[in-house]
Amino acid sequence: MSTGKSPVKFFAGRESKYIAEKIAQKFGSELGKSTVTVFSDGEFQPSFEETVRGCKVFIIQSTFPPVENLMELLLMADAAKRASAHEVIAVVPYFGWARQDRKDKPRVSIGAKLVADMLNASGVDRIMTMDLHADQIQGFFNMHVDHIYASTIFVPYVKSLNLTDMVVAAPDMGGTKRANAYSRFLGTEMAVCYKLRKQANVIEHITVIGEIENKNVIIVDDMIDTAGTICLASEMMMNKGAKSIRVVATHPVFSGKAYERINNSVITEVIVSDSIPLKQQSPKIKVITIADLFADIINKVYNYQSISSNFIV
């Protein structure tokens, strides 16, 4: 894919090599050599074991917990910039802290904005990420943002199931835009769940708005954390006469008892991307890789081509 422009080099954080290797391979390249020195007190220092001078450096690292994943990305970006890289592009399939996108109560930080500022300060010139928790987070960055939508890979898969009497459901009011996009491309009706929270990660009550009786329901969301919301919503929908429940969610955070809840739920299938590696396997979880999509978009960005044709939104 060489075009005589600045050479391209791919590097990965330690926790994202599984996806970085696939992206680099699909692009027609391979991962560059880098190491991380870990000191006795727990601090660490990434270093590149080959020149990056004058190169477009793509650093692939999702920023899921622990916080060391974010810190490693920042240090790698700083190292690349100090080594005279022509451009530093952070490829962040899952952008952590995105749920902290506003002050929803007094005396709290806006974590998403702070992380965006840190990436900018570290020397990142451009960021590629997927299905941010809130679209407006793009405005937090003082750099180019390529916001990619996983619907590009999920919609064809859902269509391949050949389900009849299908309805797309949003798990909460904030997800109606995403659900509406899926329903348009799948040619279905839409339902919405209204949830009342007692506290973070604890749902008190869910009301379903829309017709779901005798329907194959597809719940769509940007992520699954504890799986409490989707499992409760799925149970309520089945009690209201739904034929089956499937969940499409880009980022498999899967914290706490998420796997146990999913395995014991009425959900037929949970469809996720590999933006975050699974901690364990489940017969109910289907993983679709995003490597081809990211490799294609990286190629188009490198060759100054439009990427809008890659979007189903």
Tell me: pLDDT of 46 over 90. yes
Q: Is the pLDDT of residue 201 over 80?
A: no
Instruction: Single out the catalytic residue among 17, 195, 240, 300.
Output: 195
What pLDDT shows up at residue 305?
Answer: 93
Its pTM stands at 0.93
Q: What is the mean pLDDT of residues 199-211?
A: 73
When pLDDT is averaged across residues 112-128 and rounded to a whole number, the result is: 98
| Residue-range domains of the chain with CATH | 8-148 (3.40.50.2020), 151-288 (3.40.50.2020)
Q: For 256-278, what is the mean pLDDT?
A: 98
Active site residue 33: no
Looking at this protein, which amino acid is placed at residue 7?
P
Q: What's phi and psi for 256, nearest 5 deg?
A: 60, -130
* Contact in structure between 215 and 166 (CB atoms under 8 Å): yes
Residue 263 has pLDDT above 60, yes or no: yes
Contacts of 105 (CB under 8 A, 6+ apart): none
Q: What is the pLDDT of residue 128?
A: 98
Judging by beta carbons within 10 Å of its beta carbon (0-12, 13-18, 19+), is residue 242 exposed, middle or buried? buried
Rounded to whole angstroms, the Cα distance separating 272 from 249 reads 5
Asked if 63 contacts 92 with a C-beta cutoff of 8 angstroms, the reply is yes
Average pLDDT over residues 174-203: 83
pLDDT score of 313: 61
